[in-house]
Amino acid sequence: LEVHAAPTGLAEIAAPPAPGEEQPPLAPDEVTILGQLDATYLVVQHGRDLLLVDQHRAAERVIFDRLMAQPRRLARQLLAVPVTLELAPDEAAAVEDYREALGEMGFEVEPFGGSSYLLRSVPAQLTHSNPEEVVGGMIAELAQWQSSDELGERREAMLASVACHAAIKAGQRLSPPEMQKLVADLLATQTPAVCPHGDPVIVTMEGALIDRKFGRS
Amino acid sequence: LEVHAAPTGLAEIAAPPAPGEEQPPLAPDEVTILGQLDATYLVVQHGRDLLLVDQHRAAERVIFDRLMAQPRRLARQLLAVPVTLELAPDEAAAVEDYREALGEMGFEVEPFGGSSYLLRSVPAQLTHSNPEEVVGGMIAELAQWQSSDELGERREAMLASVACHAAIKAGQRLSPPEMQKLVADLLATQTPAVCPHGDPVIVTMEGALIDRKFGRS
């Protein structure tokens, strides 16, 4: 059975709030997870408002904040079985340039002959992630950076890259407990609405606006 | 714990589509109910789109269509215990004016002395509703109408009033099976997006629009 409906559209959505604009607090205990939309956004009730939460960016924010809260030299976890990385020439060059910075972040990488490298450890925070995927994505990103200057200034960018590659992806189905934990962890951060790259994590549809769109104001 | 977030807003929502505008079909089997927002709107996933469904208007549309599909003289169900109605003078006058029309709709109302009336039956379609509330609301509405002229033309308005007073209210919590049934019944009607009074039942936020608001286009 298919019926033809004429749904009204929620077409225009506002720009992000101006910097410094006053925003209402989000209290984690007033939040109810309704479900997952398109395996990409979490649909959340907060009081009378409807929130959409980008699951990948939420996870990025959570991981990034945890990494930033660590001492400069991150705690590392030796891998039971080292991971062999086969690198392209520009990637191998990036590993050589950034070897010390990678080590500070918990990634011990050593030459293994030719284009091969061995990954011996990962940041302790990331032991539940796929280490090959995280370090592979990160090295590919490092290889695109222009120079190894200002390494210190790039610590945040490197941690954002780690967080990005370690985070839950869009398109990944989550169980209700996984959704609960992600949203609770996100709301416990200081800036849950913006990911480490500056993109929106949360888009809000206010209850009063919804009422107006139904002509119920 | 309370944190201050800076959520981006879904602020502007489009006007209803122009009459005759082409609309995509809504296939009931592609619909997933995520939950209830503010005990007023059902939050529904349809493919990549997010739909909000006004539960009261959805129930109005379902009941109205069922009543309209009946013969002119609606099947009635005698009440096991007749309901006594205490009416204001204008309400009693309305009952006298509309007695025959009420009878055709399944509401047998007879004088019971003074301002009292007895309700002996209701439309068979409404046996699960609270008869006192349905007929009480309807008589109060009849009392505000200007005249009893054009009774025939008013059949639709009277059925819309019955549907309104018999329908699930905003603010009523629904179980998941109740939500499922309401949405399935709504999508089986010919015009699910508009209630009998012409107000929107469904507001749609398209998946592509959501992506754009997150800067993911």
A28 close contact with B: CB closer than 8 A: yes
pLDDT in tens, B126-171: 888 888 889 999 999 888 887 655 665 688 888 999 999 999 999 9
Tell me: the pLDDT tens digits for A71-84? Answer: 989 999 999 999 99
Report residue B58 as tokens.
């959805």
Residues B86 and B147 in one domain: yes
B 88-107 residues with CB < 8 A to A: none
pLDDT at site B147: 66
- Does the distance separating the beta carbons of B54 and A28 come in below 8 Å? no
Token pair, residue A105, equals 């972040």
What is the rounded average pLDDT of the residues A31-52? Answer: 94
B69-101 pLDDT, tens digit each: 989 899 999 999 999 999 999 999 999 988 998
Q: What percent of chain B has a predicted confidence (pLDDT) above 70? A: 84
Query: Is there a single domain that holds both residue B76 and residue B137?
Result: yes
Whether residue B6 is predicted with pLDDT greater than 50 in this model: the reply is no
Tell me what percent of chain A is helix, strand and coil, each rounded to the nearest 5.
Answer: 40, 25, 35
Residue B21, domain member (yes or no):
no
Is A209 among the domain residues? yes
Estimate the crossing angle of helix B155-166 against helix B89-104, to 10 degrees. Answer: 100
Tell me whether residue B216 is exposed, middle or buried, using C-beta atoms within 10 angstroms of its C-beta: 0 to 12, 13 to 18, 19 or more: middle
Domain count, chain B: 2
Q: Is the confidence at residue B1, as pLDDT, over 90? A: no
**Is there a single domain that holds both residue A77 and residue A154?**
yes
| DSSP character string of B124-170 | GGGTTS-HHHHHHHHHHHHTTSS-S-STGGGHHHHHHHHHHHHS--T
pLDDT of residue B177: 95
User: Is the domain of A59 the same as that of A108?
Assistant: no
Instruction: Assess A34–B contact: CB distance below 8 Å, yes or no.
Output: yes
* A5, A24, A207 ranked by CB distance to B26: nearest: A5
| Alpha-carbon distance A35 to nearest alpha carbon in chain B (angstroms) | 6
Q: Is residue B28's pLDDT more than 90?
A: no
- Shared domain for B125 and B91, answered yes or no, is yes
Q: Is residue B24 part of a domain?
A: no
Is pLDDT above 60 for B54?
yes
- The CATH number linked to B191 is 3.30.1540.20
Residue that finishes a domain, picked among B132, B147, B166: B166
Identify whether A24 is part of a domain.
no
Does one domain contain both B49 and B126?
Answer: no
Side-chain-side CA neighbours of A198 within 13 Å: the count stands at 3
- Residue A173 has a CB neighbour count (10 Å cut-off) of 7
Pairing of strands A8-9, A116-123: unpaired
Q: Report the pLDDT value the prediction gives residue A30, as an integer from 0 to 100.
A: 80
Beta-bridge partner residues of A28: none
pLDDT at A12 over 70: no
Ranges of beta strands (E only) in B20-165 are: 25-26, 31-37, 41-46, 49-54, 76-86, 109-111, 116-123
pLDDT band at B26 (very low <50, low <70, confident <90, very high): confident
Surface of B (36-55) touching A: CB under 8 A: 37-38, 41, 43, 45, 48, 50-52, 54
Tokens of B137: 């609301």
Residues B161 and B124 both lie in one domain: yes
Assess whether B87 and B151 both reside in one domain.
yes
Average pLDDT over residues B179-188: 95
Which chain A residues touch B210 with a CB distance below 8 Å?
37, 41, 52, 203
| pLDDT of A216 | 85
A95: in domain: yes
Domain carrying residue A82:
72-166
For residue A18, pLDDT beyond 70: no
Q: How high is the pLDDT of residue A126?
A: 87
Q: What is the pLDDT of residue B23?
A: 53
Q: What is the CATH number of the domain that holds B160?
A: 3.30.1370.100
In a domain, B16, yes or no: no
pLDDT digits (tens, 9 = 90+) for A89-113: 999 999 998 899 899 999 999 999 9
Average pLDDT over all residues of chain A? 85
Residue B175 has pLDDT above 90, yes or no: yes
Per CB-CB distance under 8 Å, the chain A contacts of B197 are: none
User: Which tens digits make up the pLDDT trace of A122-167?
Assistant: 999 888 888 888 999 999 988 888 765 566 568 888 899 999 999 9
pLDDT at B163: 94
Contact present, A216 and A64 (Cβ < 8 Å): no
**Closest partner residue to B214 among A45, A48, A203, by Cβ?**
A203
pLDDT value at position B145?
83
Q: Does B15 map to a domain?
A: no
Are A161 and A79 contained in the same domain? yes
Q: Are residues B117 and B195 in the same domain?
A: no
Check residue A152 and give its pLDDT. 58
CB atoms within 10 A of CB A100: 10
Tokens 């949405």 correspond to what residue?
B183
The answer to whether residues B81 and B159 belong to one domain is yes
The answer on B86 and B143 residing in a single domain is: yes
Residue A14 maps to a domain:
no
Averaged pLDDT score across all residues of chain B: 85
Domain-ending residue, one of A166, A182, A203: A166
